A and B are shown apart, each in its own frame.
Chain A
Amino acid sequence: MRTALIGLAFGTAFGALLAWGGMSDPAVIEDMLLFRSVDLFLLMGSAMAVAGVGARILRRARARSLVGGTEIEWTSTRPTTAHVGGSALFGIGWAVSLTCPGPLAAQIGSGNAAAVATGLGVLGGIFLAGWWRARATAARTSTAMGAAAIGL
């Protein structure tokens, strides 16, 4: 319950900041992607820098989470072809709709029906990705079984 409320609070602050910063405005995203304005690059860069420094201070201080009391840590992932292929597709969708998963939710909150359409597409894409990954795993398993059957 407490975790859910904390999630809601952080989400609300994040959504309000995205809207205030102009990230939920498709025209602002277009200005960024066409290099008409550098503001959003600076915004993202400063968010990254503050998050990076803050996270390392927490880790160096061996801070424990305020809920649960676990040691603050995070995982580092090695890049794969999925990170490239998936992100390329994501980049096309981002440039066409001029929105992405966070700002999209803030747009829905502002009463924009176009964002609801994009959101339904996002949910459809997530379902499709789940099906696609399950199929890829099944194909790998059957290939391995086939290889074992013919003695490879």
Chain B
Amino acid sequence: MAHGPWWVVGPSIGLLVVGLLWTLNKPLGALGGWVDVAAWLRAPRTAPSWRVMFLGGVVLGGLVHALATGHLVMGFANAPLAAHLGGSAVGVAVASVAAGGAIGFGARIAGGCTSGHAISGTALGSPASFVACGTFMTVAVGTAHAIAWLTGGV
């Protein structure tokens, strides 16, 4: 599938960060949406926060892109992870939930994810975001190389 060039997509995402700051005076970050969804699930009678709506929008944006490019998945797809696990669908499901748990727990404790810390937080000059970004980039690169080595990919 052809992707948009980085020099269009990257600056556009940067403009979204600026736009959200200008309209709502809020930093852009996807984790906050998940945190508010988790809170909303415990109190479903309350109105969803703007961050829940933001995350809903990300889902919608993914749908719009899939429909526009004709790449609607409608299935269970994570080819690289499936390849690491020898094609086991159960393995992919278990690994996905477990990895999701590490992502949710870790990012919640660290106060942000790739968008919140590595794009917004560093752009706004927050020292904690530089530490968080440096840590998860290093660990993710190391883990990916370890997985590739263990599965004979590199």
Contacts and interface: CB of A to CB of B under 8 A. Distances in A.
A146 interface: no
A147 interface: no
B87 interface: no
B105 A7 contact: no
A122 to B, nearest CB: 4
B108 to A, nearest CB: 4
Interface residues on A, range: 35 or more
Nearest to A97: B99
Nearest to A24: B62
B10 interface: yes
Interface string A62-96: 01011110111111111110111111111111111
B103 A66 contact: no
A125 B139 contact: no
Given A54-B14, A90-B106, A102-B114, A108 B62 contact: yes
A150 interface: no
B119 A97 contact: no
Q: What's the dominant secondary structure at chain A's contact region?
A: helix
Contacts of B15: 50-51, 54
A151 interface: no
A27 B80 contact: yes
A8 interface: yes
A91 B138 contact: yes
B14 A77 contact: no
Contacts of B144: 30, 33-34, 95
Nearest to B42: A127
B1 A123 contact: no
Contacts of A3: 24, 50
Given A12-B58, A112-B77, A89 B50 contact: no
B10 A10 contact: no
28 contacts: A10-B20, A12-B61, A15-B59, A15-B65, A18-B62, A46-B7, A50-B15, A74-B126, A77-B126, A83-B131, A91-B142, A94-B99, A96-B99, A97-B78, A97-B81, A102-B30, A104-B30, A105-B33, A105-B59, A106-B61, A109-B58, A110-B62, A112-B78, A117-B96, A120-B97, A121-B96, A125-B102, A126-B105
Interface of B: 1, 3-4, 6-7, 9-25, 27-28, 30-31, 33-35, 37-38, 41, 47-66, 71-81, 92-93, 95-111, 113-115, 117-133, 135-145, 147-148, 154
Interface of A: 3-22, 24-28, 30, 33-35, 39-40, 42-52, 54-55, 58, 63, 65-68, 70-80, 82-102, 104-115, 117-130, 132-133
